[in-house]
Chains A and B, each alone.
Chain A
C-alpha cells in the first residue's frame, strides 16, 4: 500500500465531496438532529422548571446519579441515554458517501482510466474508504464536542463532565471509526452489486438496524449509558465484522471484476 496513491485518491474525493452540497448536507444534518433532540429536552426542562417526576422513571435516574439533584439527574440521564444515537452517524454517513462515490464512478465509467494507472485496486479503495469515513468521524467528534459543551452551558457543567466520560471517550476513539469502516466496506460491497446509488443506500441502510436496536434497548433498559465492557465487546464484534467485510470486499473488487462486470 503506497501512501502517495491513497493520498491522491483522498484529495480527489475530498474535492469532489466539497462541491456536492447535497452530500455535505447528508453528512451534517443527521448529526445535528441527533444532538438537537436531547439538547432541546434539557433546555425545555431548564427553562420551564418542570417537576422531574413528570418525566417518569425518576427513581431510576436518581439512583444512577445519587450526587445530583433530581432535575439535573433527569437531564444527565437524557443526555447520556440519547448518546447511543451518535453511533448512527458513523453507520449512516460513510455508507451514503461510499455508495455515491463508487456508483458515481460506475455511471461515469471513470473506474477504468484510474485502474489503467500504476495504482493498485487496494490503494483506490483505501483512498475512497478514508474519504468516506473521515467526514463521518469528524462530524461525530465535532457534534460530540458541541453536545457536551452546549448541554453544560444550558444546564450545568456537570453535564459536560457526564458526556465526556471515559466510556464515551473510548467509544469515540475506537467504536466510531470501526463502525465507519464497516459502513464504508458494506457500502463498497453493496455498490458492486447494484447500479444506482439510491438502491445501494436502501440496501446498505440495513446496517443501521442493529445500531438502532442497541439504542432502543439502552432506552428501555433504564440504563443511562453503555459500560466500558459493553464498548469493548462492541469494538471486538465490529472489528470481526470489518475483517469479514474486508475479505468479501477484496474478493469482489479485483481489477478484472470491476472492468468486466462493474464498470
Chain B
C-alpha cells in the first residue's frame, strides 16, 4: 500500500515534482504516464527511499518516507530506467550479489536466484556474462533483480522496454500475477497501449498528477465523445448538418465517408435526443456507434494543456 500526500521535490530552483498525491492499494497496478522530464523517475526515487522529498508525506507499506527509508528499501523492488548490470559478471552472479544485499543467504539465496532466472526464461544462459546479452535479456535480468527478495511494493520503469512482443507479454502476464498476489505495483511508461492493458488506474503526470482514473473513465471524462451515425436512403448525410447545428448539445458535426460524425458532451445522455431529432427530420438510421477518445488523445490533450500553462507561467515570470 502506498499513500502519498503533498509530495514535492526541488533541485535548487527547479521544481521537479509538486503537490503530488495518490494512493496505490494492495493488489493494484498504478501507471504513471508522462513526457520526459515530467517527474516520473524522481517520484519513484522518492518513494523507493533513494532521495529525500523536499515537502509532503508518503507511507509505503505503513513505513514513513524519510524516517524509515532503509526499511522501505528492504521491502521495495525497483526496475530502474536503465538495467544497470555488472557486465563482467554472469546473470547468476549479478542476481546473487543483489540477493545478498537484500539479506538472502545460503539456500534461500540460491532458490530465489534460480526461481527468477526461470521466471524470466534465462536459466540456460545464467552462467554467461551479461556483457554479451542482448538488450532484452539484460532487461529480463533487471526485472528478476527487482523481484528477488519478494518485495511488497514494486516500481517498474518501462518494464517491457527492449523486449520483443512475446517476451513483453510474458512480463506483463507475470506482473499481473504479482498484482493477483496482493503486491502494490507502480509502472512508469510511455507505452500507452501497455498502460491501458496492464494498469488498473493511470495517473497522467507533468510535475504533478493532472488526472488519475481507470483507463476507461479517463477516456470518457476527457474531451467530447464522437458518435457515428450510419444512414441509408436518398438523403445525403450532409443535408442534416444544418439541423444538427441547431441542437444545443451538439459540439460539432460533419459528413464522413457517407455517415454523420457528431461530437456531443455526454453520449449516454444526448444520444436519444440526437436520434429522435434526426428521425423526425426524415433520417433513416441503421447504426449508432460511440467513438470514445483514445488514451493517446487524452494523454496528448492533458499534457499539451499543462505544457501551455507552464509556458504561460514562465512568460508571466519573465515579464514580472
Contact = CB atoms under 8 A, between A and B. Distances in A.
B99 to A, nearest CB: 9
A116 B78 CA distance: 7
User: Which of A11, A12, A108, A117 has the largest count of B CB atoms less than 10 A from its CB?
Assistant: A117
Interface of B: 11, 45, 48-52, 70-71, 73-74, 76, 78, 80-89, 93, 97-98, 100-103, 129, 142, 145
A108 B141 CA distance: 14
A174 B175 CA distance: 54
Main secondary structure of the interface of A (DSSP, over half): helix
A213 interface: no
Given A15-B93, A259-B51, A260-B51, A111 B84 contact: yes
Given A4-B100, A113-B142, A12 B80 contact: no
Interface of A: 4-5, 8, 11-12, 15-16, 19-20, 108-120, 255-256, 259-260
A177 B88 CA distance: 27
Contacts, number: 77
B84 A113 contact: yes
Given A109-B81, A116-B50, 7 more contacts: A8-B100, A12-B93, A15-B88, A116-B48, A118-B73, A120-B70, A255-B50
Contacts of A118: 70-71, 73-74, 101-103
B108 to A, nearest CB: 14
B89 to A, nearest CB: 6
Contacts of A112: 50, 80, 82, 84
B84 A115 contact: no
A242 B81 CA distance: 36
Given A116-B78, A256-B51, A260-B11, A109 B89 contact: no
Contact of A113 (B71, B78, B93, B129): B78
A5 B101 contact: yes
Contacts of B82: 109, 112
Contacts of A260: 11, 51
A256 B50 CA distance: 7
Nearest to B52: A256
A259 B50 contact: yes
A138 B245 CA distance: 88
Contacts of A119: 101
Contacts of A8: 97, 100-101
A11 B109 CA distance: 16
17 contacts: A8-B97, A12-B97, A15-B88, A15-B89, A108-B84, A108-B87, A110-B85, A111-B84, A113-B145, A114-B101, A115-B50, A116-B48, A116-B49, A116-B80, A118-B103, A119-B101, A259-B51
A16 B100 contact: no
A210 B53 CA distance: 44
B88 A20 contact: yes
Given A15-B89, A118-B74, A255-B50, A113 B100 contact: no
Contacts of B102: 117-118
A117 B85 CA distance: 14
Q: Which 9 A-B residue pairs are closest in the complex by CB-CB distance?
A: A110-B84, A117-B101, A109-B82, A8-B100, A118-B74, A109-B84, A19-B88, A256-B51, A116-B78
A118 B89 CA distance: 21
B50 A12 contact: no
A258 to B, nearest CB: 9
A82 B45 CA distance: 52
User: Which of A12, A109, A116 has the largest count of B CB atoms less than 10 A from its CB?
Assistant: A116
A108 to B, nearest CB: 6
Nearest to B16: A260
Nearest to B105: A4
Nearest to A116: B78
Given A255-B50, A260-B11, A113 B98 contact: yes
Given A110-B84, A112-B50, A113-B142, A259 B98 contact: no
A244 to B, nearest CB: 27
A117 to B, nearest CB: 4
A50 to B, nearest CB: 49
A19 B93 CA distance: 13
A231 B313 CA distance: 65
A172 B172 CA distance: 57
A19 B128 CA distance: 13
A2 to B, nearest CB: 10
A117 B51 contact: no
A100 to B, nearest CB: 11
B222 to A, nearest CB: 33
Contacts of B84: 108-113
Contacts of B76: 116
A255 B52 CA distance: 9
A15 B86 CA distance: 11
Nearest to B70: A118
B73 A116 contact: yes
B51 A16 contact: no
Nearest to A5: B101
Contacts of B85: 108, 110
A255 B51 contact: yes
A135 B300 CA distance: 56
